[in-house]
Structure 1
Amino acid sequence: MPPSSSSRRHTLTHGVSTPNFLAELPPQYTVDAESSQNPVARRRLSHGPPRYSNAVALELQRQGSSSGQGSTGQHQHEFHIMNANRSHAWTTLRIFSRNAGSTPQFFGGDSISGSVELDLEKPQKINSIILYLRGRIITSSLEDGSYAFLDHAVDIWNKDAGDPRATQAGGKRFDGKLDGKYRWPFNFAFPTEFTIPSHGGQISHSFQTPQTFHERGLNTTLEYELFLHINHGMFRGSSKLHVGVAYVPNITPAPSSPLRRRAYLEGVSLSSPGEDYAGWYSLHPVILQGEMSGRSGVEFRCILSLANPLTYTRGTVLPCFINIEAVDQKVLDTFANAKIIRVCLKRRISYTRNASLVLAHFKANTRGKGSSLRQDEMTEIVEDTGQAVWWVPSNAAFYGPNVRCLEGEIHLPKNLYPSCMVPFLIVEYYVALSIDLSDVFRFTSVGSHDSPIISQPVTIASFHGEGPLPVAFTAPPGKRASGLSSHRRAQSNTDVFITPRHL
């Protein structure tokens, strides 16, 4: 009779110790006791909080993710198909992955390795054993509420291959009856890309395989599973085993500038945008005009600069720098204030409302690569994920009497979902600058106080690239469960982008 249930067990393979990447990806910041007493490190700020560092833990993470060997010296997971009375596991799926938790996890470039094992108490007819790796986007529990964008099949064994215990090929055709113990090892790469056919299957569009996606409050889920299918023939139902797995793509930033790398290594202040042109990306200068304290024609100029390249690893920081220029000293002192300069990292999520539309759209589509669903087929949400902390740089006096500058950083939550661009799930990030001075100032040139003055798209990476690890120089915000604002709002109701006057 076919088995009636399945079970799972997780064991740790002894030998090489591997950090728990699932729980600490990337790890939290910890105080570096030495740096707080190190005069070189203290040069980073003339005054303020101590230097914070997570270099050791992040270096372990980077070494673990760059080896490309996701099957060596790792954690072992076992999953079983039991017999009818649950007294015997006649099928075991053994998987090696990076983490010791209940869900096996894999990074971009990893291999999925393990074995399929049978322990048959009596002869069973088996035609084939196939292991599938599947990725699905799920929008509802209905039959058409999911779409399998990834379906990778691995043939473990089939009866046409003959008796597994046969010493040589050929001879009598094997009838598929197996008895006793068998073991088939497997090893295959987790696909880093997937394709969706379009235009009648004549064209295929390729996309980077996205990370597993589960977030409370969003009506969409992106999940992966290993599906073991054992075919017994036409007179008996197949035996099946479903195992959920997690995936993290390998997205890394390009190397930073030589001056920035040296600053991270030596623990000194980052060079300013005027000193390190390659290390900063300066947005277009913006002139803001309005009325303040009954005076009209008040004007000031600001330039927001972000660390270059514009890709930042979650769990680290996004350095930023702002220059504010004005002829009137009172205006300059009013606006060059860390309490009113608001620079936030925002996240825009767009996801399909109906998974069944994905394939239909691409089959009918004749346009070029990268086409996604129509706007009316997507749900869009915009939310804050972090806000800059500011301080006055130690060399601020060198900028002149009509210029004020602030240096800062945005702490990136370690569990930020990396940037993603697939037809059914788009996760984008951008940095937005706004001014919070509605009680004393009224804009006449750029709209409301709630609207961003200027914004810049950025990329959130999952892992670190080459070079020294980024260093945070302020304490991260208090512990947050999700790292996201609790108030989610649709973009059409909140973020109204304006067109400021550029120089």
Structure 2
Amino acid sequence: MDVSPPRYRRFSRPGPAPQSAADLPAYTRRNTLAQPVARREPVEHIYPLADGKARPWASLILKSSAKSGKSVPTFFEKEHINGSFELTAEKGDSIQSVTVTVTGRIVTGSSTDDTYVFLTQSLPLWSKADSRSSGTAAKLLGDCVWPFSIPLPKAVSLKDPSYDALFRLPETFLERHTRASISYDISVTVSRGKLRADSQIKTRFGYIPTTRPDPPSMLRQMAYRQNTILPGPDVDPAGWTTSSTAVVRGTIFKSHQAAVHCMLSLANPLSYTRGTVIPCRLTLESNDTQALDMFSAPSAPLVTLRRCVRFQNPSTSSKREVDWVQSFEDVCRAVWWPAPNGNDAPYSRSLEGEIKLPKDLASTSSIGRFSVSYTVVVSSFETVGFTPSSSQPILVEPVTITTSHARDSPRPNAYAPPAYAPLPIPRQHHDFYAAPATTRLGR
């Protein structure tokens, strides 16, 4: 961190889809996802403090990578928080010090006990005591400007009865339907004597870490570069993770029992950049051809990306071990189409698919009492005439969502045919529940 002495100057700143491969329309492979974007030029954010006066007597100015000056200031990993503080000191103003502070918090409720501070960085801009010791003016008078530059750490060390570890600085997380949040703010405090109140300017800012997946397999990279079809698990086994076989059981048209064997394949590595896609494959096997045809319709599989926000709230726990609170939400759904030659075998069907990830999807993160994690979930098959024997998920595969692309690797292509638009998610999981501290989510 660095700070320059104040500069005195005039204060002049103003305050229905096809059902078979034969029905597929002709289309061209697209490469429209996540093209390299140049970092924006810094924009200026101004936060004035007037205190009932005709014009501001102090202003906090920040320069950030946000879209505009009206947006919340946004800073990326390795960026400094650059800005300045401007102040007009009147005669007789008993200012003792000026300090800028950056704070990161986990907030899990409305009381003070529901806030956990994981980052605090303070930078003194001016101090009356230091001015006296250095022989400079001990009082501020007129228009003053203090530029500052504060580097954000890549990680923070946290100690708690349950952990002592180094955590990567998490991305800002603030959503209306989720009780827990990760927030950052920057404030400038003007401290005065005992008989006068202090003044403060404070504003939130967004922080985005740089997280990347490992490069995909060489065959998948080649397909992306040449804009060709992705090789499947049978051709590129290193490029896919295939689940164990799960059996889906139920009743067909209330007349007979059916069982379909299901395997889900996801492209390796199981880490994907937001704004791109998760390539998927689904293999179905059964000697019941009626059930097989019903399950292999592109609209039938309900496969979603499910987010879990997990946090601890000590103030609401009456037990010796603090409970973890978990909330789940299905944030996007896979779209499917028949795989080439996927219907050739009499007792097997194959579907190709992908999950399109929103550009603003929160990245995977974990710090102390808070975490954001993701799984790809095969929930059920939505087909008329089939009644499942269980409502439990069929298959679950943990995945990681990152903020940046793999190094030295082509950007992923989107392969979904234009006729196959994403279907709506039939239900959202906004439910909250407390689980014992030892509980682990697993497959």
Task: Work out whether the TM-score is over 0.5.
Answer: yes
Greater mean deviation of Cα atoms: 117-126 or 342-351: 117-126
**1:351, 1:380 within 8 Å by CA — same for their partners in 2?**
yes
1:168-202 residue CA offsets vs partner (Å, 9 max, x unmatched): x95xx4563111233222112223323333359xx
How far apart, in 2, do the equivalents of 1:408 and 1:122 lie?
Answer: 70
Mark the CA change 1:176 to 1:210 in structure 2 (over 3 Å): closer, same or farther: same
Q: Is the 8 A contact 1:147 1:356 kept in 2?
A: no
CA–CA separation in structure 1 for the residues paired with 2:216 and 2:185: 37
The one of 386, 410, 426 aligned to 1:468: 410
Residue equivalent to 1:408: 353
CA contact (8 A) 1:46 1:394 kept: no
Equivalences for residues 61-460 of structure 1 within 5 A: 63-64=38-39, 73-82=41-50, 84-99=51-66, 100=68, 101-122=70-91, 124-162=93-131, 173-174=135-136, 176-198=138-160, 204-288=164-248, 294=255, 299-327=259-287, 329-353=289-313, 374-375=322-323, 378-396=324-342, 400-436=345-381, 440=385, 448=390, 450-460=391-401
RMSD value over aligned CA atoms?
A: 3.7
Q: How far apart, CA to CA, are the structure 1 residues paired with 2:426 and 2:139?
A: 56
The letter of the residue matching 2:59 is T
The one-letter amino acid of 1:388's match is A
**CA spacing shift, 1:153–1:383, aligned 2, 3 Å:** same
State the alpha-carbon separation in 2 of the partners of residues 186 and 128 from structure 1. Answer: 15
**Closer/same/farther in 2, CA of residues 224 and 355 from structure 1, 3 Å limit:** farther
CA shift in 2, pair 1:75/1:291, >3 Å = closer
Q: Deviations over 1:241-295 (max 9, x none)?
A: 1111112222221111121122122221101011112221111133456665755
CA distance in 2: counterparts of 1:413 and 1:465, whole angstroms: 18
SS in structure 2 of the partner of residue 227 of structure 1: strand
Q: Is contact 1:116-1:185 (8 Å) kept? A: yes
Q: Is the 8 A contact 2:108 2:179 kept in 1?
A: yes
Task: Give distance in 2, aligned partners of 1:396 and 1:436.
Answer: 18
The number of residues matched between the two structures is 413
- Matches of 1:477 and 1:176, distance apart in 2: 68
Post-superposition offset of 1:388 = 1.3
SS at match of 1:344: strand
CA contact 2:86–2:146 (8 Å) conserved in 1: yes
1:166 maps to which residue?
A: none
The whole-number CA distance in structure 2 between the counterparts of 1:323 and 1:236 is 73
Cα offset for 1:133?
0.5
In the alignment, the residues of structure 1 paired with residue 387 and residue 172 of structure 2 have an alpha-carbon distance, to the nearest angstrom, of: 45
DSSP-derived class of the 1:102 partner? coil
Contact 1:137 1:222 in 2 (8 A): yes
Change (3 A) 1:387 1:189: same
Give 3-state SS (helix, strand or coil) of 2:118's partner. Answer: strand
- Per the normalisation by structure 2, the TM-score is 0.80
Identity %: 30
Deviations 1:25-80 (A, max 9, x none): xxxxxxxxxxxxxxxxxxxx96466544434x6410xx43xxxxxxx941011222
Instruction: Mark the CA change 1:198 to 1:334 in structure 2 (over 3 Å): closer, same or farther.
Output: closer
Contact conserved, 1:305 with 1:322, CA < 8 A, in 2? yes
Q: How far apart, in 1, do the equivalents of 2:63 and 2:429 lie?
A: 39
C-alpha contact (below 8 Å) 2:60/2:86 kept by paired residues: yes
CA distance, structure 2, for counterparts of residue 340 and residue 421 of structure 1: 34
Task: Compare 178-187 and 138-147 and name the one that shifted more.
Answer: 138-147
Q: What's the CA shift for 1:491? A: 7.0
Q: What is the CA-CA distance between 1:299 and the residue it aligns to? A: 4.7
* Gap change, CA 1:197 and 1:484, over 3 Å in 2: farther
Structure 2 residue ranges without an equivalent (≥5): 1-12, 16-22, 436-440
Rounded to whole Å, the distance in 2 between the matches of 1:116 and 1:324 is: 63
> Partner amino acid for 1:190?
L
- Runs of 4+ with >6 A deviation: none
**Matched-pair contact (CA < 8 Å) for 2:304–2:333:** yes
Q: TM-score scaled to structure 1, two decimals? A: 0.71
Deviations along 1:462-496, one digit per CA (max 9) or x if unpaired, are: 2223222222223585799xx99556335799xxx
